[in-house]
Structure 1
Amino acid sequence: MTWKTEWKKWSTHKELPSELKKQMTEMNEREREEAFYKQLEFGTGGIRGELGAGPNRMNIYSIRKVTAGLAAYIEENDTEAKKRGVVIAYDSRHGSAEFALEAAKTLGAHGIKSYVFQELRPTPELSFAVRYLRAYAGIVITASHNPSEYNGYKVYGEDGAQLPPIAAEVIVTHMSKIENELLLEVKEERELLSQNLVSYIGENLDQVYLDYVKGLQLNNNAAKTNLHIVYTPLHGTGQTLVPQALQNAGFQHITIVDEQKNPDPNFSTVSSPNPEEAQAFQLTIQYGKETGADLLLATDTDADRLGVAVRNNDGEYTLLKGNQTGALLLHYMLSQKKEKGILADNSVMLKTIVTSELGRAIAEDYGVKTVDTLTGFKYIAEKIDEYKKKGTKTFQFGYEESYGYLIGDFVRDKDAVQAAVMIAEAAAYYKQQEMTLYDGLIELYETYGYYKESLTSFTLKGKDGAAQISLIVNRFREHPPAEIAGATVERIEDYQSRKRINLLTAQLETMDLPPSNVLKFWLQDGSWFAIRSSGTEPKVKFYFGVKQGTESESEERLKELETNVINMIESIVY
């Protein structure tokens, strides 16, 4: 089926909403092809894309189609699965509330119960709610930290984690059998209510979740009352829970960035609601300077990612990288648990394959095993579930470099609410020692070595972009470099074939991980870089990691590695 056939099908559909009709009339030839040449792909746990008309865009019909696929997946199980139902949450983006209701209306047409949050709520609370309500699945309408023209749809299993690949494939198979998403049946909200196929949830569940978060505290020191925090939800869902969670933990001096506290689908004060980017912290830093704050916190739209800024030795604010925040959280928690005698002998820390090796060094120092997973928090959640069922290991902490952290396993996804409370507690602890979090970070580097990491992304949109991304990854896979930045390539890990080869000894190993389109190159000096094609965005990502004896040496080596690899990429693309 060509894009022109799809275009005609949509343009002749009598019930197409007027807004979508208008968008179609305003499209040029290229825009039409991009919007209609394929369906949105079910990537990392769901679909994500630009808002608009067409099967390759986010709209009520793409929502209905993926939900119909989920409904068929649920119907494959017994009647109990349908009764247990699906929890649905949403963020502050354009269309999020409408899409949440469309999902409930589609599920209702299949006789499947929905629990819909009355107002926007963070993704981690959705994960918690699925487990707490014993629902069979969960849906969250969000595009996380993407720009305002995007929205998305993530699916969660009964364990509260994003769906693993096998379950996702079943949903994709059911979706592929839907010939015309424009004709999918839905029930109206009043029908759902009269037939008890939808229930609205909210504040009661908030309180239960917040009680669990409070239970994570390791110290109730007096310094909490003197710690000054500035927090911004970046126009997203964090405002509903983060300030209350901090107050519950004993923090009294919390200033909210007023211009960014209310939901705003246009994210009018930032170019992107992404706490990984410095621009998102501009107002927060301004507030910090005005109030003399010790700690600055920012959450993304659905409050699963946390950004942190702290005062450095010059009195200015330094934005911590995700790897740095993760290392500080890990060290604080392990040191406190060991001191209190509550660190289990079979403890484990989970991180992704592109997350800093500093975490491994810290964990090893405390006798804690480190296990690597593929990129994506669902793989960390899978391991937590496995250890819980087998009773073989005690989960202590999970994190990824992209600002995602998990402390308490009552949630099975990254949780910025938990992380905000724990990093504030760590800051209070250091303040009691007359230190800042920045001092604590330098202490870690001096103890374990100066680990430095970076990330470079190439955004290549559309049909041509997808072909270029494939070309880049395949070129490195089929013609791997033997030397980079003056160092010999020692090992190559191909997560697609699940093979690790030592180029110096020709030793070949099979890696015990699911297949994924990722390549990782280890150099003889301990440096590494990885290539990963994003499952949710039109991007190919390059991760870099080094370790040297001093900060300047690490920064110099990191720059050298980045420059060499980027030159190779540009020679392929351009």
Structure 2
Amino acid sequence: MNEYKLWLEEENLDEELKKELQKMTESEIEDAFFKHLSFGTAGARQVMGPGINRFNIYTVKRLALGYAKYIKLISKSNNRSVAISYDNRINSRLFAYTCARVLAAEGIKTFITKELRPTPYLSYMVRHFNCDGGIMITASHNPKEYNGFKAYDHTGAQLVPTFANKLTKEIDKINNYFYIQERLSDLIVEIDETFDALYLSEVKKIELRDLKKPHKFVYSPLHGTGSTLMPKLMKDVGYKFYFNEKEMINDGAFPYTKSSNPEDLLAYENSLKIAKEIDAVAVLVTDPDADRLGLMVKHEGEYVFLNGNQTASLEAYYILSTLKEKNKLPKDGIIYMSNVTTPLLKYISKAFNVELKEVLTGFKYIGEQIEKTNKTYLFGAEESYGSLIKPFVRDKDAIQAVLFLSEMITYYLEKGLTLYDVLLHLYKEYATYSEQTFSITYKGIKGAKQIEKIMKHFRRKPLLIDGEVLSYYEDYVDGVKVKEGKKEKLDFDYANMIKFYYESGHEIILRPSGTEPKIKIYLYIKDENLDKANKKLTKIRKIIERIIKEI
């Protein structure tokens, strides 16, 4: 309550925020002030509003100043610089330019986009301008009430914990939110739309085949940044794209879509209507900062939703099979995936004799590995619709993914196959998995404690399921693999996650979300065919939900 009073009595507090403060209930005050805004899996992300645990102009200035101090700490350059961009969300542009002015006051040059641009575009800017880091103002796929701050390193990848912890220490040193200096300066360099051509020229190089392009596609950016690049790209490469014009409008209120998350079927509702009217072969949807792509494909007269695991498996298979066909599959090739992604990728990689490396959740770990190795990068993916075809950026890139999936769909249709046909082939050829990620939300202080309680429960009592034999489990807090009571050290950094492996091939994972107040459960259920696997998944999910409810 002390922090609340300080904010309420602060003479420099924005009047609108002060009015919001005065209307807050006791529980709302507690949630907004019980801790400082913190970094998670993908930077800092929170509901907008007054308070130290909310996203507002003052918490943004604190993050920006902390980031400036961090850049000074890690960079020995006399000409330090940072790239900045932002999405369509309410206040995103204001927050981005505020960051630029705070950095300018600290003597750091910034390259900031005059208009909103995608997250992968920001990553490309960092690399192109040889910056010391980057800032992306976005809350990705979160609801419209949220905004966020993604922090990048000099390679264009998000900060891994070693460096995120250093950044956090610098932020924690800043106790006063209201007297952080800003400066208008020639250190702030605006980047206009002429820079688009440089990024898009790299995107166009990812194509593996020269194809005729007779098919119709429907695309929506869900009011986000994809609208700034997709019309230019598709005009240049020649695919017949029909744009959901209402959702091409950049708007942080997301007025024409029921969801800003491509994992949610509601996000496809309007685009699906257009697809049916024009007989399109697919609907492609990118999230607001255009780092993740969702997909529905037409199969036997119906539009079928493909999840992020299925899309990643199809992308990997297409890359490997095409390169093999052309005798261009490198002996030192490598694929990366987060360790909450489908096991099917392991089977596909093994079949092509290609190394697959698992990393912790968060594409920053894939970016880190790309930088560390001399092996030939082939593909990287995570289950939540994030993939990277070519590593000229070091974050998920849905602009690349839209072009690449369009090529894949077109190629297979030439062969008389839909993407769903190809997916069924992968199940038959390699392994059949029913995959599902579900979340349970626990808000506020009590919610955070309940999530902690659930994780502790499963560490004490590993997940036993009737009819299934638990082979072993991995606890990423202690960094150990536990099999028959014996412990082996894992070659992974700390993460609040538990992963259970069963003799049947099932994999079940529990981890708190790094960006939202929820616990996430990942189910990978293997069986001889998809129908059996789906039924088994439904049964196992009910068992897990019952156990969690009783904790």
TM-score by length of 1: 0.94
2:317 aligned residue (311, 331, 334): 331
The one-letter code matched in structure 2 to 1:248 is: D
Q: Is residue 2:141 matched to residue 1:141?
A: no
SS in structure 1 opposite 2:52?
Answer: coil
The one-letter code matched in structure 2 to 1:561 is: I
Report the equivalent of 2:105: 109
SS in structure 1 opposite 2:433?
Answer: strand
Q: Is residue 2:472 matched to residue 1:491?
A: yes
Report the equivalent of 1:522: 501
Q: Counterparts of 1:212-291 in structure 2 under 5 Å?
A: 212-222=202-212, 224=213, 226-251=214-239, 253-291=240-278
Report the equivalent of 1:372: 358
Q: Counterparts of 1:161-560 in structure 2 under 5 Å?
A: 161-187=157-183, 191-192=184-185, 196-222=186-212, 224=213, 226-251=214-239, 253-313=240-300, 315-387=301-373, 391=374, 393-481=375-463, 483-503=464-484, 506-560=485-539
Report the equivalent of 1:129: 125
Inter-partner Cα distance in structure 2 for 1:286 and 1:486: 44
Q: Is residue 2:49 matched to residue 1:52?
A: yes
Higher mean displacement: 112-121 or 22-31: 22-31
Asked if the contact 2:42/2:158 (under 8 Å) is kept, the reply is yes
SS in structure 2 opposite 1:152?
Answer: strand
SS in structure 2 opposite 1:487?
Answer: coil
Q: Is residue 2:73 matched to residue 1:92?
A: no
How far the C-alpha of 1:272 sits from its partner, in A, is: 2.3
How far the C-alpha of 1:489 sits from its partner, in A, is: 1.4
How big is each residue's C-alpha offset from its partner over 1:126-161, in whole Å with a ceiling of 9 and x where there is no partner?
Answer: 011100110101000000000000000000000100
Could you tell me which runs of 5 or more consecutive residues in structure 2 were left unpaired when the two chains were aligned: none
Describe the shift of the 1:206–1:485 C-alpha distance in structure 2 as closer, same or farther (beyond 3 A): farther
Inter-partner Cα distance in structure 2 for 1:159 and 1:478: 40
How far the C-alpha of 1:35 sits from its partner, in A, is: 1.1
Superposition RMSD on alpha carbons, in Å?
1.2
Moved over 3 A (4+): none
SS in structure 2 opposite 1:525?
Answer: coil
How far the C-alpha of 1:26 sits from its partner, in A, is: 1.4
Asked if the contact 1:246/1:420 (under 8 Å) is kept, the reply is no
Inter-partner Cα distance in structure 1 for 2:258 and 2:423: 29
The one-letter code matched in structure 1 to 2:68 is: A
Inter-partner Cα distance in structure 2 for 1:567 and 1:90: 41
SS in structure 2 opposite 1:245?
Answer: helix
Inter-partner Cα distance in structure 1 for 2:502 and 2:151: 38
How far the C-alpha of 1:540 sits from its partner, in A, is: 0.6
Inter-partner Cα distance in structure 2 for 1:247 and 1:335: 28
Asked if the contact 2:42/2:362 (under 8 Å) is kept, the reply is no
How big is each residue's C-alpha offset from its partner over 1:439-475, in whole Å with a ceiling of 9 and x where there is no partner?
Answer: 1111211211221110110111111110001000011
The one-letter code matched in structure 1 to 2:157 is: A
SS in structure 1 opposite 2:95?
Answer: helix
How far the C-alpha of 1:247 sits from its partner, in A, is: 3.1
Q: Is residue 2:7 matched to residue 1:19?
A: no
Inter-partner Cα distance in structure 2 for 1:523 and 1:367: 25
The one-letter code matched in structure 1 to 2:524 is: G
Inter-partner Cα distance in structure 2 for 1:261 and 1:355: 30
The one-letter code matched in structure 2 to 1:206 is: D
Higher mean displacement: 273-282 or 561-570: 561-570
SS in structure 2 opposite 1:74?
Answer: helix
Describe the shift of the 1:418–1:78 C-alpha distance in structure 2 as closer, same or farther (beyond 3 A): closer
How far the C-alpha of 1:182 sits from its partner, in A, is: 1.5
How far the C-alpha of 1:79 sits from its partner, in A, is: 5.4
SS in structure 2 opposite 1:501?
Answer: strand
Identity, % of aligned positions? 40
SS in structure 2 opposite 1:484?
Answer: coil
Inter-partner Cα distance in structure 1 for 2:10 and 2:256: 38
How big is each residue's C-alpha offset from its partner over 1:402-440, in whole Å with a ceiling of 9 and x where there is no partner?
Answer: 000001000100000001100100001011112211211
How far the C-alpha of 1:257 sits from its partner, in A, is: 0.6
How far the C-alpha of 1:202 sits from its partner, in A, is: 2.6
Report the equivalent of 1:570: 549
The one-letter code matched in structure 2 to 1:444 is: L
Inter-partner Cα distance in structure 2 for 1:490 and 1:397: 29
SS in structure 1 opposite 2:494?
Answer: coil
The one-letter code matched in structure 2 to 1:471 is: K
Inter-partner Cα distance in structure 2 for 1:27 and 1:541: 29
SS in structure 2 opposite 1:491?
Answer: strand
Asked if the contact 2:87/2:289 (under 8 Å) is kept, the reply is yes
Asked if the contact 1:89/1:121 (under 8 Å) is kept, the reply is yes
Could you tell me which runs of 5 or more consecutive residues in structure 1 were left unpaired when the two chains were aligned: none
Asked if the contact 2:247/2:257 (under 8 Å) is kept, the reply is no
Higher mean displacement: 24-33 or 342-351: 24-33
Report the equivalent of 1:8: 5
Asked if the contact 2:41/2:361 (under 8 Å) is kept, the reply is no
Inter-partner Cα distance in structure 2 for 1:127 and 1:136: 12
Inter-partner Cα distance in structure 2 for 1:454 and 1:49: 25
Inter-partner Cα distance in structure 1 for 2:493 and 2:195: 35
Describe the shift of the 1:269–1:485 C-alpha distance in structure 2 as closer, same or farther (beyond 3 A): farther
Asked if the contact 1:147/1:271 (under 8 Å) is kept, the reply is no
Asked if the contact 1:111/1:197 (under 8 Å) is kept, the reply is yes
How far the C-alpha of 1:245 sits from its partner, in A, is: 2.3
Inter-partner Cα distance in structure 1 for 2:411 and 2:513: 37
Inter-partner Cα distance in structure 1 for 2:74 and 2:30: 38
How big is each residue's C-alpha offset from its partner over 1:471-517, in whole Å with a ceiling of 9 and x where there is no partner?
Answer: 00011012223x214212110100111101112xx443211111100
Inter-partner Cα distance in structure 2 for 1:79 and 1:489: 51
